[in-house]
Amino acid sequence: MIPAAVDYVRADSAEAAIAALAEAGDEAKLLAGGQSLVPLMRLRLATPSVLVDIGRLDGLAGISVDGDTVGIGALTTHSALEHSADLAAACPLLAHVAAQVGDPAVRHRGTLGGSLAHADPASDLPAAVLALGGTLVATGPGGSREIAATDFFTGFLESVLGPDELLTEVRVPVSTGGWCYQKFNRRAQDWAIVGVVVAEGGAGVALVNMGSTPMRAAGVEAAVAAGASAGDAASAAADGTEPPTDNNADGDYRAHLARVLTERALVAAGA
Amino acid sequence: MTVTESPFIGGIVGESRLRHEDPALLTGESKFIDDLQIPGALWVACVRSPHAHARITGIDTSAALATDGVVAVYTGDDLADAWAAPLPCAWPVTDDMKNPAHHPVAQGKANYAGDIVAVVVAESRYAAADGLEGVVVDYEPLDAVVTMEDAETDRVVIHEDCGTNVSYVWPLVPDPEAVEAAFADATHHITETFVHQRLIPTAMEPRGVVAVPAPHNGDMTLYSSTQIPHVLKVMAALTLGIPEQKLRVIAPSVGGGFGCKLNVYAEEIICMALAQRHGVPVRWTEGRTEAAVSTIQGRAQRQTIELASDADGKLTAVRATLLADMGAYLQLVAPGVPLLGAFLYHGLYDVPVYSFTCKGVFTNLTPTDAYRGAGRPEATYAIERAMDALAVAVGVGPDEIRSRNFIPTEKFPYDSPAGLTFDSGNYQPTLDRAKELIDWDGRRAEQAERRAAGSTTHLGIGISSYVEMCGLAPSRTLAALNYGAGGWESATVRILPTCKVQVVTGTTPHGQGHETCWSMIVADQLGIDPDDVEVLHSDTAISPLGMDTYGSRSLAVGGTAIWMATEQVIDKARAIAAHMLEANADDLEFAGGTFSVKGSPDKEVPLAGVAFGAFTAHDLPDGMEPNLQAQVTFDPSNFVFPFGTHIAVVEVDEATGAVELIDYAAVDDCGNQINPLIVEGQLHGGIVQGVAQALWEDAAYDADGQCRAANLADYLVPSAAECIDMKLDHTVTPSPSNPMGVKGIGEAGTIASTPAVMNAVVDALRPMGITDITMPASPMTVRRAIEAAQGDSA
């Protein structure tokens, strides 16, 4: 549980962080809350040569509601999401999902941007942002670009984020329609064995831990849009997925869970 | 001696008092092994075999030696002459038990994934970890034996010199013909097979070692996160050939053990050997992932239990047959762990005929050994699960089948069919009270309503009544079991000149609260404030005599030694007081910390006056030694036999297979209680640990012998979020085997709760035709059982 030697740079601005990334190349990793990266480093599964610490950057944390959009700084912690009255009013789904991440210690350190950039299919928040139809803002040497959440995740722990890009903001629409997060796990602190996020009464449905990326359940969304019952719509929940096998579940059981949980989530969300 | 009520009159024992230990623990003042600042220490990191079974064909250490900060690298061959003997197994349960040489660093062959094949010595923990990557070991992988059933066949013989994977067969069959006759005549013959998965003990603090040598005079001080500094001192002296008087073992604050620190580990011996070799302190701290494979694991048994009964469900015989997985080598007491349950497969039921046989086998997995309950949870699980099956066969409730078979109270002391004498018991009231706490009738009605309504959230209610044997142990009984040590405990009670008290105990607390409880006992006897009593322990230079802490022995054996030593001190103080008061000692009474002459209340002297008088020795009775102190070594006459009944209520979600524990009642009887708050704490933790075996924890291995749960994300230790409020109550049936009338409570919760929960799970699913669920009852396992049952009925 001893990480390999690593150089450390503390960035005092987003520009400085991007410059440090550009200088270090592929071997650099951004360090925000460290809740995913540091455990991997301690197991020596991740051995970056440089850590660029953005944890103390000003201006990248905070929640603001502007018209029908909620803007959330990438360094906003899960705990801040969980306890924000503004978010509870504008997007209660996201506040609720943030409260299901890990345990209180993790939620006080972990950040929304870090969770999305890590692109873990078993994480809660990426699926929530997908279901909400969110947009991610990445900033690199050439400026900022907006990326639809549906285009962001490309593979297991992989995204379209460039090696010299920094995730700066996450935007989700104000969403107060029927919602539900069905997180199925054996202990409160664990990753979901399977999770199902339903937003806006079933207009957005996303799955946790059902493949190599966080994913939308397009078949379910289409069925709901076409007026199918919750049960009928849920029967499509595992379509096209390749769920993983681990100690807790094999692929078949995960597919079964996805259908059961999707139906429950749709019913709870009023679909 | 017979104790029918509490001997304590001081008003302190029996109070729920906050633990004296906690402020230092909660503020970080307590020092655990990794907190020790030892200047100049070298760090050890262990190169562990990634293969479960492999021949070591070459080790290249050159890259490691070239790593910054690395001082030396040693292979098993390099250190072959460092040990005077292999790592010890102190419990050769049979004369012909196979016990392969277990060297701290493997020589020639690695026998489990985690077996140490080389060690890196470096200037820092980080450099040692870096050095690990530079040790290149060539392995020739061999077929691995990962199941007990495979081991039994000797398809692959792990230890060639043993010639077989069977370490021992240990039978306890007092009357074989009676067993056959009982089963031949039985109306009901129940046969059940259960598997206890491997468990990782997961003490909050992993292990750690610092060996500090004194190169010129040959002294060696070993700091270790251990439950057994006293036993370790003896064993380390023998294993390393260090003269025992030169060896001092200190267990600093120890963050839990659950039995996994009741051992002599390779890393302890390695650090001492390297400290001798390098002439400087050498240390090692275990990582959590490392701990999962390098520290002993628990349970790992396959049991077949058979019950014979008459038409009314009255038991006539019990026969248990065990297969027990020792792992790759025999650790300190591993072969004896099943034997601690061997006498209890008839539970707390009055059974005339008994048969038990255990076969211990080697596998290519991490060695097993004692884990909270050690043998008794397994025994209780088997009989309590089987009793539910018998109840179904007879057509009565699980409560009724137990009531029909409880050993009647008037039969105590009860000569058990396995050859023990159960000290005291009164079982039915614990069942009655537990049913009351859980609202048995109401829950049964609710269950019936749900079933009638076709609910898919099934309610299950499970009973577990238990008796266990603890307070290890009468030394003569241990001799009969071929155990390599005694079961006594030592105590010194010393009243200082200022009337403060030092208690030196041979018990070794690692979370139990001995300091609190021992000070309460002594303060109650002496009529002083518990804060005026300091308890010294866990350092063989301060407490040279002891047998340490395991097997729920500390109070019944170590506490008794303290009680007896305090009584001796009071007797001496009484003689001095009588001399001071010019009275006859028999005419003095001692209460509230003061000696007074019966009938002459103005003639009195406080204990403080006696203590100072004993110190100055200016005017002691003729021939009396100065000072007030006594040392007692107590060897118990019997085990103690706590008992109780636990009832669990679960909900099973048919669609997902998820099991949720929703209610829990426990009524336990550990005789007289010293500190009820600590009793409750032991039960809370113990119950959760047993529930964890039922629902969550599983040291799962794949077919190649790789642990698939070697971290706390995959090994599901429950947290507070998974716990529920428990309804606890107790009855009090003092033990007649010790003067305080006490029994142990450290393992009872773990012993009782696993079968209560699994009986509840099966109770919920029985209408579907399900009669067993393999532990842990994970959602997928339960869902698969439901699917299979529904497929069968479709």
**Predicted ipTM?**
0.97
Tokens, residue B122? 């470096």
Check pLDDT > 70 for residue B1: no
Average pLDDT of chain B to the nearest whole number: 97
Let me know if domain B488-634 sits in CATH 3.30.365.10. yes
How many Å lie between the alpha carbon of B394 and the closest alpha carbon of chain A?
36
Cβ neighbours, 10 Å, residue B452: 8
Comma-separated ranges of CATH 3.30.365.10 domains in chain B: 298-432+468-472+638-793, 488-634
> Looking at domain A63-173, which of 3.40.50.300, 3.30.465.10, 3.10.129.10, 3.30.420.140 is its CATH number?
3.30.465.10
Mean pLDDT of A183-187: 97
Closest CA to A130 of A83, A82, A93: A93
Hey, is the C-beta of B658 within 8 angstroms of any chain A C-beta? yes
Pairing of strands B70-75, B116-122: antiparallel
Q: Where in chain B is the domain with CATH 3.90.1170.50?
A: 39-142+204-256+261-294
Q: What proportions of chain B, in percent to the nearest 5, are helix, strand and coil? A: 30, 25, 45
Give me the mean pLDDT over the A26-42 stretch.
93
With a pLDDT cut of 70, the percent of chain A lying above it is 100
- Count Cβ atoms within 10 A of the Cβ of residue B123 and give its class: 0-12 exposed, 13-18 middle, 19 or more buried: middle
> What pLDDT sits at residue A25?
80
The mean pLDDT value for B466-483 works out to 94
Q: What's the pLDDT at B420?
A: 96
Helix %, strand %, coil % of chain A (to 5): 35, 25, 40
pLDDT band at residue B5 under the 50/70/90 scheme: confident
Closest of A133, A156, A152 to residue A221, by C-alpha: A133
At B240-299, the pLDDT tens digits run 999 999 999 999 999 999 999 999 999 999 999 999 999 999 999 999 999 999 999 999
Taking only the tens place, the pLDDT of each residue in A100-124 is: 999 999 999 999 999 999 999 999 9
A&B contacts, CB < 8 Å:
58
pLDDT tens track for B137-191: 999 999 999 999 999 999 999 999 999 999 999 999 999 999 999 999 999 999 9
Min Cα distance A88 → chain B (Å) is 23
The pLDDT score that the predictor gives to residue A140 is: 95
Strand-pairing partners, residue B646, are B464, B666
- The pLDDT of B592-615, averaged and rounded, is 95
> A85 — contact with chain B (CB < 8 Å)?
no
pLDDT tens by residue, B409-462: 999 999 999 999 999 999 999 999 999 999 999 999 999 999 999 999 999 999
CB A168 within 8 A of CB A125: no
CATH for A180-268 is 3.30.390.50
Kindly give the pairing relationship between strand A7-10 and strand A50-53: parallel
- Find chain B residues with C-beta within 8 A of A4's C-beta: 130
Q: What does the pLDDT look like over A4-26, one tens digit per residue?
A: 999 999 999 999 999 999 998 88
Mutation pick from B288, B698, B716, B784 vs chain A, by most beta carbons of A within 10 Å, is B716
The answer on pLDDT for B3 being more than 50 is no
- Sign of the dihedral defined by the CA atoms of residues B268, B270, B276, B279, in that order: negative
Q: How far, in whole angstroms, is CA B84 from its chain's centroid?
A: 29
Query: Does position B2 have pLDDT exceeding 60, yes or no?
Result: no
Question: With 60 as the cut, is the pLDDT of residue B4 above it?
Answer: no
Q: How many residues does chain B have?
A: 794
A7-53: CATH class = alpha beta
Do B670 and B679 contact (CB within 8 A), yes or no?
A: yes
- Put simply, the chain B residues between 749 and 778 with a CB less than 8 A from any chain A CB are 778
Q: Does A195 touch chain B (CB under 8 A)?
A: no
Taking 70 as the threshold, does the pLDDT of residue B301 lie above it?
yes
Give the mean model confidence (pLDDT) for residues B223-242.
97
The DSSP bridge pattern shows strands A63-66 and A28-31 to be unpaired
pLDDT digits (tens, 9 = 90+) for B77-129: 999 999 999 999 999 999 999 999 999 999 999 999 999 999 999 999 999 99
Architecture of domain B39-142+204-256+261-294: Alpha-Beta Complex (3.90)
Say if the Cβ atoms of B289 and A253 lie within 8 Å.
no
Domain limits, CATH 3.30.465.10, in chain A: 63-173
Q: How far is B331 from chain A (nearest CA, A)?
A: 25
Residue in A24, A46, A38, A32 with CA at minimum distance from that of residue A78: A32
Strands B42-48 and A215-216: unpaired
- CATH number 3.30.365.10 is the correct assignment for the domain at B298-432+468-472+638-793: yes
Subunit contact A1:B709, Cβ cutoff 8 A: no
Supply the DSSP symbol for B88.
P
pLDDT digits (tens, 9 = 90+) for B639-694: 999 999 999 999 999 999 999 999 999 999 999 999 999 999 999 999 999 999 99
